[in-house]
Structure formats: C-alpha cells, structure tokens
Amino acid sequence: MQISDHVRHILAQYDGERPGVKANLARLLLHGRTGGSGKLVILPVDQGFEHGPARSFAPNPAGYDPHYVFELAVEAGLSALAAPLGLLAAGADRFAGAVPLILKANSANSLAGHADQAITGTVGDALELGCSAIGFTIYPGADSQYEMFEEVREAAAEARACGLAVVVWAYPRGGKLSKDGETALDVVAYSAHMAALLGAHIIKVKLPSAHIEQPEAKSAYAGMGIDFSVLSNRVAHVVKAAFDGRRIVVFSGGPAKDSQALYDEVRAIRAGGGHGSIVGRNSFQRPREDALAMLDTVIRLYLGETAGA
C-alpha cells in the first residue's frame, strides 16, 4: 500500500526520528482494514498475565489457544496484535507477516500487593519475533513509578536504536490517587503527557471521566471554557496533552461491555481526534463470529462507513 496523506502527516510529526522507527510506524498505520486512514485498531492479549487465565479466557475458552487470537487479529483485518513474549512466540512463526506484532515487554499480575511491573521481554526478543514495536506499562502515581520510568527510558532508547517503535500503556494508579482519580481527566492527560516525554511513539490510555482529581488543577480546567461532560471533548484534551496531537494516542476498550456502549465510545474517540482503539476483552471474550462482527463495526466506524458515524 502506498503511504497515504493521513499517514504521511502522522509520520511528519516525529521530527528527526530514525528511519527504521518511522518505517515500523508506517507498517502499523498501513496494515489491515484501517490501513492508510490514520487510525489503528489493535488486539491486546496480555490479560492472562494481568488478571489470570480464567478471568480472561473462561468466557470464551477458544481464547486459551494463542493461535486463536492470531487468527482473530488476521481475519478481522486489525492493525496489530500486542502480547507478552510467550504468546507471541507460540504463533509468530506460523503467522509470520500476517499481522504486525507488538511485544508487551513488562507485565504485572493480580496476586501482587502493590502496583509495579516486571520486565518480561527484551528488544532482542522483539527483533527475533519480527515485531514492529515494543510496549511497556507505566503506573503514574505508584510508589514504584520512578523505577518504571527509568526502565522504560533505557529500553525505549535501545528499541529506537534498533528501529522499533515504542508503545507506552500509561495507567495511573497507587500513591495519592483515589480510585476515581485513576481515570480522572486531569490525571489521564498528565499520564499521556508523561508517556510522550518518556519517548513513546504510541500512547495507550483509558478513556477519561469528567472527574478532576488534583485540587491544583481544578481552576485551570474551569478556566478552559470547555464542556468536559462530553466524552469527545475529553478525548480531544488527552490528545492535545500528547504534544498537541503530535503523538499517536489510542484508547483502551476496557472491561467487556455491550456492543452499543463500545460503539458510542469509538464514535467519541473518532470525534475527539483519537487515533484508534485497543480492544482486548471486548474481542476475545466474545464468540468468534460475534467478535468479528463487533470488530467489523468498530473498523467501519473509524472509517466513517457506518450510519451515524
């Protein structure tokens, strides 16, 4: 596929970046049914590590098989598949070249007592698997946040030197944050900005609520004159926090929900200038045909092909 004007514009935002990194960003942006549109729809399957296999795959037992999620990403025409080392290694050979891969290189689990991530993959692993990008989670606000920032900075520098794009999952939690604060508008925007400052090429965040967590930020938000009760306005604010939209920002699909709620979120992401969705549990926890139908609608919404899009 030739590089479209949309993709050319996005790549131009990464001033001075290595050609190999831009080539891999282009590979992601040009693949699948959204290829060339400037939008990404990515399947993440790291939930088995994060939440456990039963919570992740029991609703649709086919998901226990790594080949199933590869097939789902390929058949749906998605932009990429993101997963930890073992899952990608179980299918990267058989599905070589069928879908771009993102190695999720750090992981947590639900058995731990505090918010932190262990390094579970390397740049070398990503290169051996033929990945286009390597990804890391950070927990802004957590007691371990500064060590995580240092780990990501070091690994991101190595990845860029090898031509890999860097994806950062920015998920605030811990520290002084309340539960509502984890998805507060000011905190999500702050976290997206930190991810950009750490060198992320693609930033993944949760959809923000209208709650403002930091007392010091409330006057600033009140003075903006923007109706942040509207989700698309909140999306636009988070995108602006990522270097005024110069970095790709995609939004989590979150826990499994009914299809209409998911479609409404996609409409808001598109209207707010977001670059797409990473849809995990809402994909692989559905039966295959239902998942394919849902992903088809998500893609058509991003392409503006669905009524009311």
Indicate which residues carry an active-site annotation.
Answer: 204
Angle at 51 between CA 48 and CA 57, to 5 degrees: 50
Q: How far apart are CA 130 and CA 260, in angstroms?
A: 36
Q: What does the DSSP assignment read for the chain?
A: -PPPHHHHHHHHTSTT--HHHHHHHHHHHHSSTTTTTT-EEEEE--HHHHH-HHHHHTTSGGGGSHHHHHHHHHHHT-SEEEE-HHHHHTTTTTTTTTS-EEEE-EE--TT-SS---EE---HHHHHHHT-SEEEEEE-TTSTTHHHHHHHHHHHHHHHHHTT-EEEEEE---STT--TGGGG-HHHHHHHHHHHHHTT-SEEEEPPP-S----HHHHHHHHTT---TTSHHHHHHHHHHHTTTTTSEEEEE--S---HHHHHHHHHHHHHTT--EEE-SHHHHTS-HHHHHHHHHHHHHHHTT-STT-
Q: How far apart are CA 80 and CA 102, in angstroms?
A: 7
Count the neighbouring beta carbons within 10 Å of the beta carbon of residue 219. 9
Q: How far apart are CA 239 and CA 274, in angstroms?
A: 6
